[in-house]
Amino acid sequence: MSKINCLVVSAAVAFAAAPLAAQETPEEVAAAALEAAPVFDGHNDVPIQLRARFGNVIGDFDFVDTLDTATATSEAMHSDTVRLRRGKVGAQFWSVYVSANLEEPVAVQQTLEQIDVTKRLIAQNPQALQLALTADDVEAAVAEGRIASLMGMEGGHSIGNSLAVLRQMYDLGARYMTITHGKTLDWADSATDAPRHDGLNAFGMDVVREMNRIGMLVDLSHVSEAAMHDALDAARAPVIFSHSGARAINGHLRNVPDSVLQRLPLNGGVVMVVALPWFLNEELRQHAASKAAEKARLEALYSGLPDQVEALMAKWDAENRQPVSTISDMADHIDHIRDVAGIDYIGIGGDYDGMPHGPVGMEDVSGYPALFVELARRGYSQEELEKISMRNVLRVMREAEAYAASQTGARPIEYPAGGDRDAD
């Protein structure tokens, strides 16, 4: 046998002996991961779309295909059961969000209405959706080929300063609460509003403790950095960030700073990486800020001349093309969280139907497989992809449930009805 033939034979033998994963394409690795552990998405805003578009009257609403929901003033919805399945979504936290600008008693009522409409949506689509309240429920739904459907409240205004209301929301099925939304509360500072408490006040710390006691996940998306740290100080169960990115990659205050990422391994929580382009791509965020500043400048210069402002803004837009956010940007955030916190502390939280659109290639919920192909191209193994897609979040749920089970003898935290919650 010639030397060349020997080399060819040796190469063939080495290839045949190589691990199967080394021979698989990124597409195959991603597909295998999503088959074994479909995406457990942390945040989807379909319920508020039902309120805004249909007034929660959904008897004739077709959730199988929502591509025909575009109107003169709004794009088509991002989500339906066809595209959720195409996106390999196996479990979904539906956000029962209501505006933080509401008076709190109204916010409580509307949150109840959003829980109701979400349950009705699930009941109307029994072939595709199944209500889930525990990690076991999630796994059972996935095994039956249905999308496990959970609910999360987005903002502490939904409990109206009341731990009693918090407990009742849990009993109705809410399994996480985002501590704030866009406004600072009587007990917690928002990331995007003026702080009043340097994080959480004493009542805010008790909210975290009571959520842990009953088994409700503490969601730290939307809260200030100081509030993130205070919540981690108080927490005895893993926290989540239901839809946030890494602030080191994009400086938006909605994203998670490294100081917090470094604490995640000790807490055990997960950052469920958001798909909102303005939180992913720093150039896009800077462009948006420059555009807002230019509009404010022109309105100050030409107050009372809206046509002039519009014409000059059109000229600015033509000269300052908006950057594009891509799947690669989202993968960059995942890379960074892995590098700082570790592979065990990453999840996915798209924010679909709560934003204009996702990044190019992931405009709606059908795009998740493309993200996992990109991650596989970057060298993530099938095991690592399964952790990101579902297994990390299931672990967090189980640990939160286990902590709550350990507290069965602990009494509820009590405050006088109608008492002041603003004291630090």
Joined together, the tokens standing for residue 307 give: 């046509």
Tell me whether residue 154 is one of the annotated catalytic residues. Answer: yes
Tell me whether residue 351 is one of the annotated catalytic residues. Answer: yes
Tell me whether residue 181 is one of the annotated catalytic residues. Answer: yes
- Longest CA span, the chain: 91
Tell me whether residue 357 is one of the annotated catalytic residues. Answer: no
User: In sequence order, what are the residues at sequence separation of 6 or more whose Cβ sits closer than 8 angstroms to the Cβ of residue 350?
Assistant: 41, 42, 43, 44, 243, 274, 275, 358, 362, 365, 368
Other CB atoms within a 10 A radius of the CB of residue 223 amount to 33
DSSP character string of 387-420: IIIIIHHHHHHHHHHHHHHHTTTSPPP---TT--
Catalytic choice (219, 230, 351, 364) = 351
Tell me whether residue 287 is one of the annotated catalytic residues. Answer: no
Catalytic choice (41, 154, 210, 364) = 154
Contact call for residues 368 and 39 (beta carbons, < 8 A): yes
Q: Characterize the bridge pairing of strands 147-154 and 89-95.
A: parallel
Joined together, the tokens standing for residue 197 give: 């408490």
State how far the Cα of 189 lies from the Cα of 177, in Å rounded to an integer: 15
Closest to 118 measured CA to CA, from 64, 166, 171, 174? 174
> Which residues make beta-bridge pairs with 177?
153, 218
Catalytic choice (43, 157, 333, 336) = 43
Catalytic choice (197, 222, 252, 333) = 222
State how far the Cα of 182 lies from the Cα of 40, in Å rounded to an integer: 25
Catalytic choice (181, 197, 229, 252) = 181
Residues serving a catalytic function are 43, 45, 154, 181, 222, 243, 351
